[in-house]
Chains A and B, each alone.
Chain A
Amino acid sequence: MTDAREIEASLLDFMRREVFAPDLELTVETGLVAAGFDSMSLVRVLLFIETTHGFWIPQGEINAETLRNIRSLAATVLRLKHAP
């Protein structure tokens, strides 16, 4: 079973490679919005989650709490993945 750590690591790897500038020191606790996360970044990340985990995060789940940092986003992915 994929756990939170694995999801965090894959999101961190993806965002380092494809979303943020390479010189940004991104961690799972970096504030995403303050780091420049915009609506096209969001599109890229939602697509990545859909490709890797097989589901689209509903727009009702996309809020400030979910997108606070990679840790909170990974927790949402994990919860939705195991939702009945």
Chain B
Amino acid sequence: MNLIELLDNSSGTWPDKPALIEGESAVSYAELSAQTKSLAARLAELSITPGSRIGLNLPNSVAYVALTFALWRTRAVVVPLPTECTEEEVSEITGSLQLDAILGARPQSGSAQIGAGLFLTACHPPVRADNHGLDIAFIRFTSGTTSARKGVVLCHDTVRDRITAANQGLAISADDVVIWCLPMAHHFLVTIALYLSRGATIVLARHVLAEPFLAAIQRWRGTVLYASPFHYGMLARHLAGGGTPTVRLAVSTTCSLNEDIADAFHARFQIPITQALGIIEAGIVCLNLREPRTRWNSVGHPLPGFSVRILSPDDAGCGEVAIRGPGLFDAYAAPWLSREELAPDGWFRTGDIGRVDEDGFLYLLSRKTAVINLAGRKVFPEEIESVLNRHPAVRESRAYGRPHPHLGEVIEADLVLDADAAALDSVRAHCRAQLASYKIPSRLNIVSELPRTAVTGKIRREVIAV
């Protein structure tokens, strides 16, 4: 199958219903489907062929959605390039995933215009990417746990399967109005694509502040919220402006909720926040639909079709969470590693440490790997260290997350310098040039040496200097 069928089916069933609302203007399903057809024709004219890997470097917008489906209509592979990426990061992704072209809002030399403020720039990879005979819809670039990064490869059938599975829990229908605030470059498949496959209306909210977000919920009679704890915290502490009686489901994802926010949000809106376990390798695996209020810190039970297992549990029952179910990723792209090679028994190891209570509720406790979670954005310390280590004044470095009461964690780094402390300004400028702004350590500490493990000499990640 091709995921464009999901949109075309909705367009056939609900042609006049608003698919997307941006500002004051609504785009109906029929209009969205028509937009994808004309964009696909234009892309084909520009030699975008099936299997081409195309980077999508745009902020949340109707155009973002239309281009994703238009690329699927041409059977091209969509690779989101988050707009916060620096030029260096974009060129690294372009090279390692062998992108054929990038769609973005800025013209480059040799760009072709494909719409208002939309430009296609060819990348001319030295070797064309090998899709290994798969019908790939999507590759999500993620920083890996080693310095080599990986792209998560998802085929059309895989995405359809995870959408079907996720909706057993979310129960999105044509009666739903989803108020959207997360970056589409990080969240699209079991969210935007799912909502559109079920005829829901998506409102693109301006999300910096609580007021416009709350106003959008009330104005458009929102029924579903899908946001991070940071957004819920802002809403909960915004006391003016009335309630949200139309909301039936408020899902929290991207990082663990804390009790303050769970309580404050419930007190303010009388709606519990439902935690989910959503990962790019599997879609939405768990959703706490049964007891979101009383067991607010659980991600709940596996959705139908999914199984969860705790590997090598300790005395308290805590161990690495492994999952099995529909719509698991097909491969990693760079270097290519198939799911069968990575998870021959069908169990994917998530890297999260968790436990399951006597009633089957799953609780996530920490990451096995050292990933830093800054207000829901995942940042790999190796990526920051590799940038720091390229600076001539830095002999070695260690980046880590320091627990923070409002953000989950914040990024700090310890540096061993080959120069005096005056070099720090230059190190900061180097970070700004090389790293998306949220990945820049908020504190750089000069130390005389880094803690290391005795055996391998590797930098110890569990030690956080106080």
Chain A interface residues (CB < 8 Å from chain B):
17-19, 33, 37-44, 46-48, 51, 56, 58-60, 62-64, 67
Contact status B442-A47, CB under 8 Å:
yes
As a 0/1 sequence over residues 197 to 220 of chain B, the CB contacts with chain A under 8 angstroms (1 = contact) are: 000000000111111000000000
* Complex-state Cα separation, A59 to B237, whole angstroms: 6
Task: List the one stretch of B46-54, B62-70, B226-234, B324-332 in contact with chain A.
Answer: B226-234
**Are A51 and B443 in touch, CB under 8 angstroms?**
yes
User: Assuming A43-B438, A51-B442, is B210 touching A56 (CB within 8 A)?
Assistant: no
Given A17-B432, A47-B410, decide whether A40 and B209 contact each other with a Cβ distance below 8 A.
no
Q: What are the residues of chain A within 8 A of B208 when measuring CB–CB?
A: 33, 37-39, 41-42, 67
B374 close to A59 (CB less than 8 A): no
Contacts of B374 in A (CB 8 A): 43
Please tell me if the beta carbons of B406 and A56 are within 8 angstroms of each other in the complex: yes
How many angstroms between the C-alpha atoms of A44 and B439 in the bound complex?
A: 10
Return chain B residues, CB-CB under 8 Å to A58: 237
For A41, the chain B residues whose CB sits under 8 A away are 208, 437
Asked whether B99 is an interface residue with its Cβ less than 8 Å from the other chain, the reply is no
Asked if B407 and A62 make an inter-chain contact with CB atoms under 8 angstroms apart, the answer reads no
Q: Are B234 and A44 in contact (CB under 8 A)?
A: no
| CA of A64 to CA of B82, assembled, Å | 26
Within 8 Å by CB of B375, from A18, A43, A56, A64, lies A43
How near does chain B come to A23, taking the closest CB pair, in angstroms?
12
Q: Report yes or no: B405 in contact with A56, Cβ–Cβ below 8 A.
A: yes
Measured in the bound complex, the distance between the Cα atoms of B233 and A17 in whole Å is: 28
B116 to chain A, nearest CB (A): 19
27 residue pairs bridging A and B, Cβ less than 8 Å apart:
A18-B440, A19-B437, A33-B206, A33-B208, A38-B207, A38-B208, A39-B230, A40-B375, A40-B377, A40-B438, A43-B230, A43-B375, A44-B437, A44-B438, A44-B440, A44-B442, A47-B407, A51-B443, A56-B405, A59-B233, A60-B237, A60-B239, A62-B209, A62-B210, A62-B234, A64-B209, A67-B208
Q: How far is the CA of A46 from the CA of B238 in the complex (A)?
A: 17
CB-CB under 8 A from A59, the residues of chain B are 233-234, 236-238, 406
Does B84 have its Cβ within 8 Å of any Cβ on chain A?
A: yes
Interface flags for B147-167 (1: CB within 8 Å of A; 0: not) read 000000000000000000000
Closest residue of chain B to A22 (Cβ to Cβ) is B432
Q: How far is the CA of A24 from the CA of B323 in the complex (A)?
A: 46
Per the bound structure, the CA–CA distance linking A37 and B208 in Å amounts to: 7
Which single residue of chain A is at the shortest CB-CB distance from B410?
A47
